[in-house]
Amino acid sequence: MKPRHQKLLAIALSLAGLGVAVALVLNAFQNNLVFFFSPSQVMRGEAPVDRTFRIGGMVEEGSVKREADGLTVRFVVTDTAHTVPVVYKGVLPDLFKEGKGVVAEGRLGPDGLFTATQVLAKHDENYMPPEAAHAIEQAQKAQQTLVKP
């Protein structure tokens, strides 16, 4: 093969690889990006009903209730302005606690109950999941602007 043809082959192969990669990425982005919504946004109806998304905030004090099977847990996520009730079946992470930050992934039912498939809490006691911190910050900002005349 002449050098010119080699170059052509290299370019053709790269373009093919790039094309496949781009097609896969676009397709996967379409289906698998998980968006984040704060409880306030959920209350305003901004969150999708037919799609998995994440909510985050603090676990409201005194809201954690365990059902008789020992595995199903109900709790309330709050951003200090609004709340979303959550139900989750499974083992909670070690750092899940009332009054601490939490992020849950799942779907919102028509009754406003969020059914979580995954509850995330990170590896550090003092660490607030960034999404949860963001939600609380936004809610507090919104409240402050409301209080101002």
Partner 1 sequence: MIPELGHFALILALLLALVQGVLPIVGAQRGNATLMAVARPAAHGQFVFVLLAFAALAYAFLTNDFSVENVARNSYSKLPEVYRFTATWGSHEGSLLLWTLILGVWTVAVTVYSRHLPEDMAARVIGVMGLVSVGFLAFMLFTSNPFLRLTPAVPEGNDMNPLLQDPGMVIHPPMLYMGYVGFSVAFAFAVAALLSGKLDAAWARWSRPWTTVAWMFLTLGIALGSWWAYYELGWGGWWFWDPTENASFMPWLAGTALIHSLAVTEKRGVFKTWTVLLAITAFSLSLLGTFLVRSGVLSSVHAFATDPGRGVFILAFLGVVIGGSLLLYAWRAPRLVSGGGFTWFSREALLLGNNVFLMAAMGTVLLGTLYPLFMDAMGLGKISVGPPYFNAVFIPLMTPVLFLVAIGPLVRWRGDDLPALAMRMRWAFAVALVTAALLPLTLDGMNLWASLGLFLALWILFGVLTGFLERLKNAPGGLLGKLATLPRSFWGMQIAHAGLAVVVIGATVVSNYEEHRDVRMNVGDYVDLAGYRFLFMGTHPVEGPNYSAMRGTVEVFRNARKVATVHPEKRRYHASGMVMTEAGIDYGVFRDVYVSLGEPLSDSEWVVQVYYKPFVGWLWGGAFLLALGGGLAASDRRYRIALRRNTEAMATAAQGTRA
Closer CB to partner 1, 61 or 125, in the complex: 125
Residue (45 or 110) nearer to partner 1, CB: 45
Angle in degrees, CA 72, 55, 41, rounded to 5: 130
With CA atoms as reference, report the closest residue to 80 among 113, 109, 115, 40. Answer: 40
Footprint of partner 1 on this chain (CB under 8 A)?
1-3, 6, 9-10, 13-14, 16-18, 20-21, 24-25, 27-29, 31-36, 54, 66, 69-71, 90-92, 94-95, 122-125, 127, 130-131, 133-134
| Cα–Cα dist 123/81, whole Å | 27
Q: Which is nearer to partner 1, 81 or 103 (CB)?
A: 103
Helix, strand or coil for residue 43? helix
At its nearest, how many Å lie between partner 1 and the CB of residue 134? 6
CB of 60 to partner 1, least distance (A): 18
d(CA 52, CA 29): 13
What tokens does 25 get? 């990425």
By beta-carbon proximity to partner 1, the closer residue of 32 and 145 is 32
Smallest distance from the beta carbon of 147 to partner 1, in angstroms? Answer: 24
Any residues with CB less than 8 A from the CB of 25 and at least 6 apart, and which? Answer: none
Taking the complex as a whole, how short is the minimal distance between the CB of residue 117 and partner 1, in angstroms? Answer: 11
